[in-house]
Amino acid sequence: MDLGSFSLVKSYPEKDTFEQIVLQSTKQGKELASIAVPELSAQFAGVVGKHGSIYPDMPWEPKESFKAVADYYARHLGGCMNLKGVCYDAGSYMAFNWRPHFEATVVKRELEIIKADLHCNAVRISGLDIKRLVFASESALDAGLEVWFSPQLWDKRPDKTLKYIVEAAAAAQTLNQQFPNRVVFSVGSESTLFMRGILPGKNFAARIRNPRLMSAIRAGEHNKPLNAYLAQANKAVRQVFSGKVTYASLVWEAVDWSLFDYVGVDHYRIARIADKYVEMLKPAFDQGKPVVVTEFGYSTCQRGIGSEGFLSTAGLGESIIDFKSQFFHQIPIFGRFVHPRVRGNCVRDENWQARQLVDNLSVLDHAGVDGAFISQFISQITPYSDNPKYDIDMASASLVKYYDDGKHGATYPDMPWEPKESFRAVADYYGTH
């Protein structure tokens, strides 16, 4: 009888309802001499009082149409993600300042564009200088964005790092009071690698090149000192900051998440883990708290060493960038005469970056994460060039290509950059999900 129904579920009659149907049919059968009660009972005996297998407490089973509509609504009416974000570097520092130019008008305009045109509702603002962090965060809050305030002091010991983090938390509290429930504070990011004292090595480069690095990680040697520091940092930060607190972890850091309000994971879908990318987030989901992927992204070149995650895109790991030329280019005056160069024969591929980002967002959305932050909006230390030999933007995961020669973009004539295909792809995804 369901054949004529437009319903999304197929219903099974309850016993009382069925008895009423039988009585009515008996009456009609006597009048029309067209159907016998035993035949009707036998025909529907298997479904009377039956409940569904998907929802055992319900007297119905979803049809294929139910599943199809649910999938469409999940993809087009918000999915699972509450936070649709992008990472914004206000000036991280390792070897040199990663945001050498920090003009107030440009920063405010960029954050307005992130809200209005990229369709983000959150931004993760990182950097070393606390005044820069406060200015960028206030600009983002004014634009209507939620801010994940993420101070970054690298290669210092825990005591010095903690002092800096608490100072930053006190500054973030001023914003939290002005914009209640819209500021989340991060006590750190990938501290096992970026802070001294957890793994051997006085700086980041020494730690990642240590021949014992992988064996120490597999043995979990980092977890005890890491959690000791995080417990101390969490306690100190909450004494001066009243908002929500998190930490941006590496996927293999066994963090004590009972300390924090969000589970934060920097998680790049590089080739060697692509088939188990979501599975690797299971320990995060098992915490019973909102899971946010605090960083992920793709470079702007075809598959290869330049597309293998943060270390490559930042020029810190194996990369297509000639690091020496990039370093000398950042030196005032002298840097004008040095052009940062690309190593090898690389091919720029904005379309590949755009496709990968959208697919990654869809995977995370369906996995059930509470939010995600794409790395990153802009990278001033990997400028674009029409000459492929000098186009180190190919190694960048940024959504816009930055000009460091005074040129401005066509889409936003007041900005020293032009959106890539990934900007438009992410804007479309965020705008329709």
Which pLDDT score, from 0 to 100, does residue 78 have? 46
Do 53 and 107 belong together in one domain? no
Range of the domain at 423: 79-432
- Calculate Rg over the CA atoms of the chain: 28
Do 66 and 83 belong together in one domain? no
Which pLDDT score, from 0 to 100, does residue 46 have? 62
Confidence of residue 30 (pLDDT cuts 50, 70, 90): low
Half-sphere exposure of 192 (CA within 13 A, CB side): 21
Tens of pLDDT, residue by residue over 337-375, are 567 767 777 789 999 999 999 999 999 999 999 999 999
| pLDDT for 302 beyond 60 | yes
At which of 53, 71, 89 does a domain end?
A: 71
Mean pLDDT of the chain: 86
d(CA 342, CA 389): 5
d(CA 398, CA 88): 10
| pLDDT for 69 beyond 60 | yes
d(CA 163, CA 161): 6
d(CA 234, CA 23): 70
Do 96 and 188 belong together in one domain? yes
Do 169 and 51 belong together in one domain? no
Percent of the chain with pLDDT over 70: 79
**Residue 331: both structure tokens together:** 């030196």
Which pLDDT score, from 0 to 100, does residue 7 have? 86
Mean pLDDT throughout 226-248? 98
Tens of pLDDT, residue by residue over 157-209, are 999 999 999 999 999 999 999 999 999 999 999 999 999 999 999 999 899 88
As a whole number of Å, the end-to-end CA separation of the chain is 37
Do 289 and 394 belong together in one domain? yes
Decide if 87 contacts 114 (C-beta within 8 A): no
Q: Helix or strand or coil: residue 97?
A: strand
At which of 44, 71, 98 does a domain end?
A: 71
Tens of pLDDT, residue by residue over 94-120, are 988 999 999 999 999 999 999 999 999
The count of domains in the chain is 2
Do 67 and 118 belong together in one domain? no
> CB neighbours (10 Å) of residue 323?
14
Do 67 and 151 belong together in one domain? no
Mean pLDDT throughout 225-246? 98
**Residue-wise DSSP of 35-54:** --HHHHHHHHTTTTT---SS
Which pLDDT score, from 0 to 100, does residue 23 have? 63
Do 174 and 287 belong together in one domain? yes
Which pLDDT score, from 0 to 100, does residue 273 have? 87
Confidence of residue 333 (pLDDT cuts 50, 70, 90): low
Which pLDDT score, from 0 to 100, does residue 336 have? 66
> CB neighbours (10 Å) of residue 344?
10
User: Pairing mode, if any, of strands 146-151 and 183-189?
Assistant: parallel
Do 51 and 97 belong together in one domain? no
Instruction: Find the range with the poorest average confidence among 42-46, 146-150, 151-155.
Output: 42-46
Do 67 and 90 belong together in one domain? no
| pLDDT for 317 beyond 70 | no
Do 23 and 108 belong together in one domain? no
| pLDDT for 13 beyond 90 | no
Do 129 and 60 belong together in one domain? no
> CB neighbours (10 Å) of residue 101?
12
> CB neighbours (10 Å) of residue 431?
12
> What CATH number is attached to the domain comprising 394?
3.20.20.80
Which pLDDT score, from 0 to 100, does residue 37 have? 47
